[in-house]
Structures are given as C-alpha cells and as structure tokens.
Amino acid sequence: MAATMHDVSRLAGVSIKTVSNVINDYPYVREETRRKVLDAIETLGYTPNLSARSLRSGRTNVISLMIPDLRNAYFAELADSVMRAAAERGLTVLIEQFGSERQREIDTVRQPRARMVDGVLYSVLTLDQDDVDLIAEVTTPVVLLGDRNFGAPRDHVTMRNTEGAKAATEYLLRSGRRRVAAFGAHPGEVIGSAALRLEGYRQALAEAGLPFDESLVVPVGSWHRRNGAEGMRDFLATGTDFDGLVGFNDAIALGALRVLQESGRRVPEDVAVMGFDDIDETQYSMPTLSTIDPGREEIARIAVDLLVRRIEAGSEAFVPEEIAVPFRLVERESTGG
C-alpha cells in the first residue's frame, strides 16, 4: 500500500499541517523539522497525489524551474524567458529558488514537488561529479541548465562561458588596454562560471603574448551589485595599476562601475569596463555597460523544447544532448563603444 501523508506525519513526529508546509516549501519551517519530514518522505517513498484531472490525463501541464537566486538579475530574466517560452507550449512554470547552500539545493532536488510536475529545468549551482546519482534519482524528465556539466545522464543547455570571457578580454586588449583585471574570481573553483570565465581570460592573455598576473585577479563572493562594489573598494585599496576590467557578471561590473566613478576614475577613459550576461539594466547605467549577451532567450527556448520532447517520449531511451548556445559581444559606452 502506498504511503500517505499520515504515515509521513507519524514517522517524522510532526503534524499533517507541518508535512504539508514542507511539501509546499513554506518558508517558516525550522530546518531541523524540514529535515525530519524530508527524511520520512524519502524513507517511505511518499509521493503526493496529483489533482483528479492530472491523474486522468497523466499530465499537469506544469514544469518546474529550479534556480539559485531570483535576486540575481540574470536568473530573474532567465525565469521570464522560460515562462514565455513555456507559455508558447501551453505550459505553466513553477519557480523553485534554493539559494547558495548545498544542502538546500539537494533538498530541493529531492522534494516531492519535483515529481508532481511534468518536467524540470534545473540550473545546477553546487553539485559535482559525486552527485550524479542524485540527478539520476529524479524520475521526472529533467533538462540541466548552467555551467556544471558533470556527466549526469540528462540533456544540458548552457552558454559559452570560456569563449565569451575570452572575447570580452580580447576586445579590451585590441582597444589598447594592457592591465586588464579579471573581476569576480572564485578561488579554488574548478567547474563553475567563475572558473570557466577565468579560463577564457587566461586564454586571451596568452594569445596576446601577455603574462598572467595574479594581482589582477579579483575575488568577489556572491555575484550581486553590493559584492561588486565591495570587491572594487578592496581592489583599489591594494594600489594595483589597471586600465581595463572584465566583470564575470553584469551585477558585479555595475557595482564596480559605481565605485570607480566615486574614486574619480573616468570610464572608459581611465578604465574600460566589460560585463557578462546582458541584463536589462546594462542599457541604462551611466555609462551604459558593454557586455556579453550569452543567448539567454535561446537557452530558454531550447531548454523548454528539449524538456517537452522528453515529456512526450515518456520512458523511451535517449542519448542526452549537450548544447552550448552562441554568444554576442555588445559594445556600449563603458568601453568607448
């Protein structure tokens, strides 16, 4: 006999209402309680019932988009692109936000709601090669987004991080800049966005015959405007000479831009600034921000199309596809464009 919500309640030692709150991702549940409920659900193999209509049809016409952080403008705009692409296919999108904590991301992947939708688009943040089995556990069709390609047996749609960062760096070098900062590094990272974009920066320097200077690699923690501003203040305090900057995303580049101007440095005359992501705000900053358009609309469209194909194919075997969409360099005022 299939497990019920009452069974989960008894095993976890909580009320049915608490079980419901955990299933529906209610934010004000203590982490210890949430873990008890999720462990009970996993132990019992409990899956919430779909609506009667969904049971009859076998479809909910709902897909899930799992992303790290809607405060990050790239993910907010990606969500908008996904919702519009899904609407064209008659689908509704349920957005799941898991933040930057690894355990919270794992819990989001394992939660019952991941089985209550027709398919999942999942932008991986913290998982790695050791987590392949976790992705394989999800019986719902899944298409992976983002930069972490670690051999999971799923379709994967991503941007050309290394090539884009290389093009941004080359553009500044061609304009005569010789001390270009790599802004947004995550020391020790191997397969994430920061690592891939730093590799593109390195390649551009090498092909231009310029040495790699560790003093020009600027760590920035979370990629938000305030972190970009703080990172630039710290960098300026070192007294390092630089005449160009490749921001590893637009948000931190915009934060750095503000601090550069506050310090009396002229952009682009003294420092040319490039971003990455082409978020909407880059068209309205002062000066407007040159950036890499990674093909967000194309990523959303291809990912939704792939997911629909997998949903319609059911349990039919397939070879996972790996798709990296083209990028575009956008010249604006921050580099003299």
84-119 b/e (C-beta count within 10 Å ≥ 16 → b): ebbeeeebebbebbbeeeeebbbbbbbbbbbebbbb
According to DSSP H, which parts of the chain are helical? Answer: 5-12, 16-23, 31-44, 52-57, 73-87, 102-110, 132-137, 161-174, 193-207, 225-237, 250-262, 296-313
Tens-of-pLDDT digits for all 337 residues of the chain? 678 888 889 999 999 888 888 876 666 788 889 889 888 888 888 876 544 444 444 577 899 999 998 989 999 999 999 999 999 988 999 998 888 788 888 888 877 666 678 999 999 888 877 777 787 778 889 999 988 766 678 899 999 999 999 999 999 999 999 999 999 999 988 778 999 999 999 999 999 999 999 999 999 988 999 999 999 999 999 999 999 999 999 999 999 999 999 999 999 999 999 999 999 999 999 999 999 999 999 999 999 999 999 998 876 777 889 999 999 999 999 999 7
With vertex at residue 328, the alpha carbon angle to CA 326 and CA 331, rounded to the nearest 5 degrees, is: 175
State the Cα–Cα distance between residues 180 and 246, nearest whole angstrom.
Answer: 7
Residue 181 pairs with which residues in a beta bridge?
245
- pTM value is 0.81
pLDDT at residue number 25: 65
Instruction: Tell me the C-alpha distance between 113 and 128, whole Å.
Output: 23
Residue 146's Cβ-count burial label (10 Å; 0-12, 13-18, 19+) is buried
Block residue for tokens 């549940």: 29
Contacts of 158 (CB under 8 A, 6+ apart): 145, 146, 147, 149, 299, 323, 324, 325
Placement of tokens 């580099």 in the chain:
335
Q: How many Å apart are CA 253 and CA 225, to the nearest integer? A: 8
User: Residue 325 has what pLDDT?
Assistant: 96
Specify the pLDDT at position 126.
80
Single-letter code of the amino acid located at 1: M
Q: HSE-up of 20 (CA within 13 Å, CB side)?
A: 5
Phi (first) and psi of residue 159, to 5 degrees:
-105, 170
